[in-house]
Amino acid sequence: LMTAKSLASKETVNGRCWFYSDDDDGISVYLNRELHAMNTVVAQLQTQFQDYLVSLYQQGFLDNQFTELRKLQDEGTPDFVAEVVSLFFDDCSKLINSMSRSLERPENVDFKQVDSGVHQLKGSSSSVGARRVKNVCISFKECCDVQNREGCLRCLQQVDYEYKMLKTKLQDLFNLEKQIVQAGGAIPQHFPSYTILRPDIRPCLDA
Amino acid sequence: MAVGEVMRMEIPSGGDMSVTSPELHVLAVDDSIVDRKVIERLLRISACKVTTVESGARALQYLGLDGDKGASVTDYSMPGLTGYDLLKKIKESSVFREIPVVIMSSENILPRIEQCLREGAEDFLLKPVKLADVKRIKELIMRNEAEDCKTLSHSNKRKLAEYIDDAPSPSPSPSSSTHDDSSAKDFPSSKQMKSADEKFSSLL
């Protein structure tokens, strides 16, 4: 039973929290409540993060390779995944620009250059687990092989859309991570097994 | 460190040769910056020292300058020198042919894989590369190195002592291989100190 006298009060002085009480119980109850509140916030953020991550797999944005990348990240290298995907998005932008130039004039399309670009894009998207981007690259390569300029232009547009969409999604994911860390929590390390979420996707070797 | 140097550290006087596992120094070659970043991390986590370069030509330069590479992991499809070309050059070089080379490729083409293995590749990894793949090849390379060392310790202790003394004259290489590994590896006990230029020009 807490009396008014024994309840601790809180004050923020110069950005720091100070707890005042004339007895220890009051302090510990107050601290426990504060900690509980903090833990609740962290727990909520962690759930939000986990749910969001799972949804990215379920919607086919990400595949198992993204899971593999997350495994390579630890407290010593907390930005590893963000750095890799950042390099990937830069790569996308650069390759899309150069392929666009190659496809520009109908009478003079350098399909070899486009094919090379698609090959690189397919490789790097595969390395980061960017599933949708990779899948567009498969169709893109087919258009290249038959020298279908219209098809290539459509695929180019689609790959541009997909990488930008993924970029936004992952930005939101990384923001959630930041919020968790700022709230004093740890990033959930449970790795959703994408084969359970999407049994229709099996890890497959490129044909 | 190069294969020969694994042995060099380990001779206590009169004792037997126990091979500890010094850090494997790997040269990773890939024209994709994304893949370089990933393979670097994979190798670091597997307790390897890593140098990454973006082309076969650069790889040869690095080997020429700093031949202390214990192994190399290279992408197959690269502009200029392909991973296969690089593999060939390394295996044809008297100085560098003992460096284990692993090929990586996003394409699962059997004739290509066979060709690389025939040319002396240690193994072939399918991209995207995972941690389990890197751990496996590291173990394979370390195990092969350890086996090479054991072979020498059983049959060439005296020759080994000469090598440790840094005698300039080459000693004959061991004729028999006691492990049942089918690939006949010619262990180069006659690795002389060559200048960087000499090493590099042997690769060209």
Strand-pair category, B71-75 with B24-29:
parallel
- Of the listed ranges A23-27, A123-127, B44-48, B189-193, the least confidently predicted one is B189-193
pTM, entire model: 0.73
Nearest to B37 among A68, A84, A119 (CB): A84
Nearest to B32 among A65, A80, A124 (CB): A124
CA of A54 vs chain B CAs: smallest distance (Å): 21
Nearest-Cα residue of chain A relative to residue B37? A84
Residues with Cβ within 8 Å of B82's Cβ and at least 6 positions away in sequence, in order, are B56, B76
Quote the ipTM score: 0.78
pLDDT of residue A154: 97
CA distance A115 to B169: 53
pLDDT of residue A8: 55
CA of A129 vs chain B CAs: smallest distance (Å): 9
User: Is the separation of the CB atoms in B17 and B153 below 8 Å?
Assistant: yes
- Which B residues 20-39 touch A at CB under 8 Å? 31-35, 37-38
Predicted confidence band of residue A206 (pLDDT cuts 50, 70, 90): very low
Nearest-Cα residue of chain A relative to residue B126? A205
Burial of A155 (0-12, 13-18, 19+ CB in 10 A): buried
CA distance A2 to B143: 67
Predicted confidence band of residue A190 (pLDDT cuts 50, 70, 90): low
Which sign, positive or negative, has the C-alpha torsion A39, A43, A45, A46?
positive
DSSP reduced 3-state for B130 = coil
pLDDT digits (tens, 9 = 90+) for A57-114: 999 999 999 999 999 998 889 899 999 999 999 999 999 999 999 999 999 999 999 9
Q: Which residue has the higher pLDDT, B204 or B81?
A: B81
Partner-chain contact B130 A68, CB within 8 Å? yes
Beta-bridge partners for B26: B50, B71
B57 HSE (CA, 13 A, CB side): 4
Partner-chain contact B41 A72, CB within 8 Å? yes
Nearest-Cα residue of chain A relative to residue B110? A207
CA distance A32 to B85: 66
DSSP reduced 3-state for B24 = strand
Predicted confidence band of residue B188 (pLDDT cuts 50, 70, 90): very low
pLDDT of residue A21: 66
pLDDT of residue A12: 61
Nearest to A206 among B37, B77, B108 (CB): B108
Predicted confidence band of residue B144 (pLDDT cuts 50, 70, 90): confident
* For residue A31, pLDDT beyond 50: yes
- Which B residues 119-138 touch A at CB under 8 Å? 126-131
CA distance B125 to B116: 11
* For residue B8, pLDDT beyond 60: no
User: Is the separation of the CB atoms in A93 and A124 below 8 Å?
Assistant: no
Rounded mean pLDDT of chain A? Answer: 85
Q: Give me the helix-helix angle, B33-45 and B131-155, nearest 10°.
A: 60
pLDDT digits (tens, 9 = 90+) for A126-172: 999 999 999 999 999 999 999 999 999 999 999 999 999 999 999 99
pLDDT of residue B54: 97
Measure Cα distances from B19 to B7, B8, B9, B49 in Å.
7, 10, 9, 19
- Of the listed ranges B10-19, B62-71, B176-185, the least confidently predicted one is B176-185
Task: Please state whether the peptide bond connecting residue B128 to the residue before it is cis, i.e. omega within 30 degrees of 0.
Answer: yes
Beta-bridge partners for A179: none
CA distance B192 to B162: 13
Measure Cα distances from A139 to A143, A174, A184 in Å.
6, 30, 45
